[in-house]
Structures are given as C-alpha cells and as structure tokens.
Chains A and B, each alone.
Chain A
Amino acid sequence: MTDVAAPVIAFRGVGVTYRKGPVWNRTEVPAVGAVDLEIAAGETLGLVGESGSGKTTLGRVALGLIRPSRGEFLIEGRPFDPAIRREGALSVVLQHPEWALNPRLRCGVSVAEPLTIRGDLDRQARRQRVASMLERVGLDPGFAERYPGDLSGGQRQRMAIARALITEPRFIVFDEAVSALDVSVQAQILNLIRELQAEHRFAAIFISHDLAATRYISHRIAVMLKGDIVEVAPARTFYDMPAHDYSRALYATIR
C-alpha cells in the first residue's frame, strides 16, 4: 500500500520548451513555464485555458509522453518510469472515441487490449472483466461483439472509458472527453465519470475549453494562460467569482 496522504501525481516546477526549426537554426518555444501542482487520489483537477496555453502539453507530461525540460514530474512520489504505462496505471480518454477504438476490431477486443498487454489474466478472465466493465459504464455486455461503427457517439465514448478503466488505473487524463457529444449524452458521461471515480478513487486531470463542464466535474480548477497557471481554486469559486482577470473572462463566457 502506498501512503494515502501522498499525492498520486505531482508537478514540481515543471517547464517544457519545444525546439523547432532546422538544426542550424533552432528556436526554442516555451510551452509551459514552471508548474507546481499535486493531485490526490479521488481528486479531479480541471485544466482550462485557450488553445496554445499549454493544457495539452501538461497532460502529455502527466502521461509520460514528453519529458519536462525543467523540474520534475512524480507519480506516487517516484520519477516517471515507462514501465508504469505497461502496467496500466495511467490512462487517457480523448475528444473522439474513434481514436481509442480500432474500427476493424470488435469493441470487446479493444477494451481488453490493455489487459492483454499487461498479460496477467487468461482469455476467460479477461472476457469476464470486459463484461463487468461494460456493465459499469452502462453498456450491455453484448456490445463487446459489436464494431465501433455500429455504436452511437455516446456509446462509443462509454466504450473508450471502459477501455481506459479496465486496468483500474490510478491516474486518468480526460482531454476534451465530452466536447464532441450531444448535450444530454454529455451529462450522462460526466455523471458516469463522477460515479466511477467515487468507486475507483483514481486521480484525474480534466482538460477542457468548456468551463461549464469542467467546474461540474472537477474538485479544483487550474486556469492556464500562456504556459503558466494563473489561478488554482476550488471548483466552487467558478460558480461565483474567480479572482484572476483571465479566469473572469472565461467565466463570463458561460453566463
């Protein structure tokens, strides 16, 4: 058992600089300044800001897809180790579920894939796990036999969430996970994420341009502007009056 009080993930002075241009004329583009953040088990941190503010870059650091240029990124108190990905301790849910589901594979196969990669369960056990996971996300287990093309957008996003949760990850990044869905389906998926989090206690980053959805799902919200976090406050603040001018401008868009 890990220490319950320790944050699941921690950014300590994390900065990311992209390099672009040919080797003889490299220019450095700062994407993220210096971010300090911690996220505890069972907590969702909302990350809002306009495009180019560094939200997605931070999400990629959290998934170990890019290394920070400065500072350190810790998972359960230890520096990021790629083996943790194979274990299925990290997951991601993206804007388009089509990106997570291979159109030529039956959904059940796609959902079971992270388990297959981990390789600790036999076929029968995997199949059972998929069936119970589908039930958890509100899909009939019979959907495992269908192809992604046979499902509606909301059903596909549930399927993508089932795949993200199948290994019981300790940390999940939701990158614009409800932005492509109908209003009513959005509400279903947001409620589903809340319920699953109450049950599995995963830590989460919810990246979105949509402050209304973000404040609904998050415990705390970090507002990013030009690579820096300008405000971190409890989600409740964003129902009332956030402090930073830029947060207020974002807030004004949903009134």
Chain B
Amino acid sequence: MTAAVDIRDFVVAYETGGGAVFALDGIDLAIGAGETLGIVGESGSGKSTLGMAIGRLLAPNARIDAGDILVAGCSVTTSDDETVRRLRRERLGFVFQNPMSALDPTMRIGRQVALAMEGTPDTAAVERLLVRAGLDEPGRVARSFPHELSGGMAQRVVIALAIARNPQILIADEPTASLDASIRDRILDLLFAMRAETGASLVILSHDLRMIVHRCERVIVMYGGRIVEMGESQAVFGSPAHPYTRALIRAAAGNEAPGEQLDPIPGVPPVLRAPSADCAFAPRCAHAAERCRRERPAERAVGGSRVACHFAEEIMAASGTAREVAE
C-alpha cells in the first residue's frame, strides 16, 4: 500500500488570548491510496484540525510546532503557496460541514462548477458533472444561486466540486452535520459512490462511530489531539481495546438492551495547554490508575489494532468484546 498522505509526528497549537491550545499532539498516520478511512472523536478531539491541515487550510492562528504532512510526496507545511494551491486543485477534494458557507453566494452554481473543472468546460460538461452528483435538474441547478437550493442539493454541488478533477484524496469533515437528518444517508451514499468511481482515498471525519464502522474499511479514534485507537473497522468496533472507544460505543443508542440506561461519558474533553505528559483520557476513564497520570501511553499493537493505552490488554481480557458489553 503506497501512502497517498503521510503524516509524521504532527503537532498543531492554536494561539488564543489565553495562551496556546494544542489541537494535535503528535499524529503519525499513513493514508493508503484508495482506502476509506473514518476518523471519529467528540467535538474538540482534533479531527477537524487534522483534516484541514492536509490541505494547509488551518486558521491563521494555528501554529505547527513539529512534524510534517506529505501529500503524494510533497510537503504541505514547507512548500510555497503556488505548490500547495496546485496540490489542492489537482489532488485534494474537500467536502465541508456546511455547504452554504462552502459555496460563493454571489455566483451561479454553473460558473462555480466550471471554475473547479479543468480548462474551460462547456455547459454540457458542467451539467454532466451535476448529474453524476445526483442532481436531477442540472440545467436549473446550474442557473441557480446557492440560496435557491436546499441544503441537500447544495451539498451535492459541493461534492461535484470536490470530484471535478478526479482528486486522489477526498476529505469530508462532518459532511452531513448541518443537513436535515432525513437526507443524511443519501448524501453519504453519494460520497461513497463517488469515491468508488474515482478510486480516490476517502477520509471522513465524524462523531458517528456506527456510520463509520458501517461504511469505512479502517477507523481511527481520536482523543485529546492523539490517535488512541486505529485498526480495521470491524476489529475496532467488535473488540475495542481503548477505554475511550468502549465508552463511545456504550454511549451510542443502538447497542443497548431494551430498558437499559445509556452511559454518557462523564466530564468533558480536555483543553490542552501543553502536549500531554500523561494519558489525556485519564480524568474521564473508569480504569485509570496511577501510571496513567504519570506516563504518556505510547501507541502499540494490541490484537490487530494499534492502541495508546497502558492497560489495553487487561481491559480487553476483563470485559470481553463490545458486543458482549452491549448485549
């Protein structure tokens, strides 16, 4: 598997009025060509920062403290602006949370789509692309302004823009979060169909573990700016090794028995003022011991997955698989 994206020991902090806040705390990750990768975590786990960093789209107050990201062998952090623009244009496709803010409100859809495509496409080519994205009336959509479309249609346009140049990597950051709940599945179907058609890698960021496991080959669980568990979706969901992954599964409706109470994860995600010297999840973890508050857990192989927890083996042995926990 050749890596489409190679992320090495990547550390990002945001400068805020109250001092630096660390969003990524040492990420090592290789994204394979053509793979579907889901990144899950609560708000504030650092997943959006990771997705945006791949296209050097971080906010101006973000500061890269260490590490590098290579897209098709080209450094995103050190290359000049023109190189990064070419990378975004030719190799990357982004689908953001809110389609209305991703589209230019002053320009008709047809023109925006034409700009995203290679060369100077004619109307028929623009409409063909819109049809590929599942829009039935491409002529009408092309003549419309973004505000004349529904949220679901606008997101289909954004997906059309993302695939316009057959990118090698599609990055979708909570692509259905701002949409009406009832059309979410259809938008995800489209996204995965487009990935299959273009052969691109798809990185999808979400807090919905069930959807990710259902749709992606590989899953990464993030917490406190680190990868706490990474592996084949079925393995991670079927026998999660990190207490945070287990807590996420137990908190989600759908795994409980009738009459059983859901277990929300107590507390809130941490705000990191410095790279953590211990386990960032320890304050919310039922299994936390003295060692967890003293020593930063290294990422290591447990079962078929990679896990950053001192006690992963014991926890897996003691509590069985997630399905047993849930049922």
Q: List residues of chain A with CB under 8 Å of any chain B CB.
A: 50-51, 95, 152-153, 176, 179-180, 182-188, 190-191, 208-210, 212-213, 215-216, 235-236, 239, 253-254
Residue from A187, A209, A212, A216 within 8 A of B181 (CB atoms): A209
Q: How far is the CA of A50 from the CA of B265 in the complex (A)?
A: 30
Other contacts beyond A51-B182, A180-B178, A183-B251: 16, CB < 8 A? A51-B183, A152-B43, A153-B43, A184-B248, A184-B265, A186-B252, A187-B253, A187-B262, A190-B253, A190-B262, A213-B254, A216-B262, A236-B258, A239-B258, A253-B185, A254-B210
Contact of B254 among A95, A153, A254 (CB under 8 A): A254
Chain B residues, CB < 8 A from A213 = 253-254
CB of B261 within 8 A of CB of A191, answer yes
B257 within 8 A of A: yes
Task: Judge whether B248 and A183 touch: CB under 8 Å.
Answer: yes
Question: What are some 23 contacts across the A-B interface (CB < 8 A)?
Answer: A51-B182, A95-B181, A152-B268, A179-B181, A183-B42, A183-B207, A183-B248, A183-B252, A184-B42, A184-B251, A186-B252, A186-B253, A188-B264, A208-B181, A209-B181, A209-B184, A212-B252, A212-B253, A215-B253, A216-B262, A235-B258, A253-B185, A254-B210
Chain A nearest Cβ from B276, distance in angstroms:
20
- B299, CB-defined interface residue at 8 Å: no
Q: Mark B256-279, 1 if CB is under 8 A from A, else 0.
A: 111001111100100000000000
Determine how close the nearest CB of chain A comes to the CB of B78; give it in whole angstroms.
Answer: 35
In the assembled complex, B177 has its CB within 8 A of some CB on chain A: yes
A192 nearest CB across to chain B (Å): 10
Residue on B nearest A179 in the bound complex, by CB: B181
The B interface is mostly helix, strand or loop, or mixed, namely: loop
CA distance A211 to B113 in the complex (A): 36
Interface residues of B (CB under 8 A from A): 42-43, 177-178, 180-185, 207-210, 247-248, 251-254, 256-258, 261-265, 268
Query: What's the Cα separation between A95 and B181 when bound, in Å?
Result: 9
CB distance from B139 to the nearest CB of A (A): 21
Shortest 8 CB-CB contacts between residues of A and residues of B:
A212-B254, A51-B182, A187-B264, A179-B181, A187-B262, A188-B264, A212-B253, A187-B251
CB pair B180 A183 closer than 8 Å: no
Tell me the complex Cα distance, A52–B210, Å: 25
Enumerate chain A residues within 8 angstroms of B258, measured Cβ to Cβ. Answer: 215, 235-236, 239
Q: What are the residues of chain A within 8 A of B256 when measuring CB–CB? A: 216
In the complex with contacts A187-B264, A190-B253, A254-B254, A182-B42 CB distance below 8 A: yes
Please give the distance in Å from A188's CB to the nearest CB on chain B: 4
**In the bound complex, do residue B182 and residue A50 qualify as a contact, i.e. CB atoms below 8 Å apart?**
yes
Interchain CA distance A66-B252 in the complex, whole Å? 34
Chain B residue at minimal CB-CB distance from A50: B182
Of all chain A residues, which has the CB nearest B152? A51
What is the CB-to-nearest-CB distance from A65 to chain B, in angstroms, rounded to a whole number?
18
Tell me the complex Cα distance, A213–B254, Å: 7
Shortest CB-to-CB span from A203 to chain B, Å, is 21
A6 to B210 Cα, complex, angstroms:
40
Q: Select which of B180, B181, B183, B264 is within 8 A of A185 by beta carbon.
A: B264
Please report the C-alpha to C-alpha distance between residue A235 and residue B254 in the assembled complex, in whole angstroms.
12
Residues in A neighbouring B181, C-beta threshold 8 A: 95, 176, 179, 208-210
CA distance A236 to B247 in the complex (A): 24
Our pick among A153, A180, A191 for the contact of B264 (Cβ within 8 Å) is: A191
Question: Which residue on A lies nearest to B247, using beta carbons?
Answer: A184
Q: How far is the CB of A113 from chain B (nearest CB, A)?
A: 26
The smallest beta-carbon distance between B265 and chain A, in angstroms, is 4
Residues of B within 8 A of A186 (CB): 251-253
**B5 CB, nearest partner CB in chain A, Å:** 26
Output the residue of B43, B182, B208, B247 with the most chain A CB within 10 A: B182
Closest to A155 in B: B268
**A176 contacts across to B, CB distance below 8 A:** 180-181
Q: Which residues of A contact B268 (CB under 8 A)?
A: 152
CB distance from A59 to the nearest CB of B (A): 13
Most buried by B among A152, A183, A191, A236: A183
Q: Give the CA-CA distance A235 to B257 in the complex, in Å.
A: 12
- Nearest to A192 among chain B residues (CB) is B264
Q: How far is the CB of B152 from the nearest CB of chain A, in Å?
A: 9
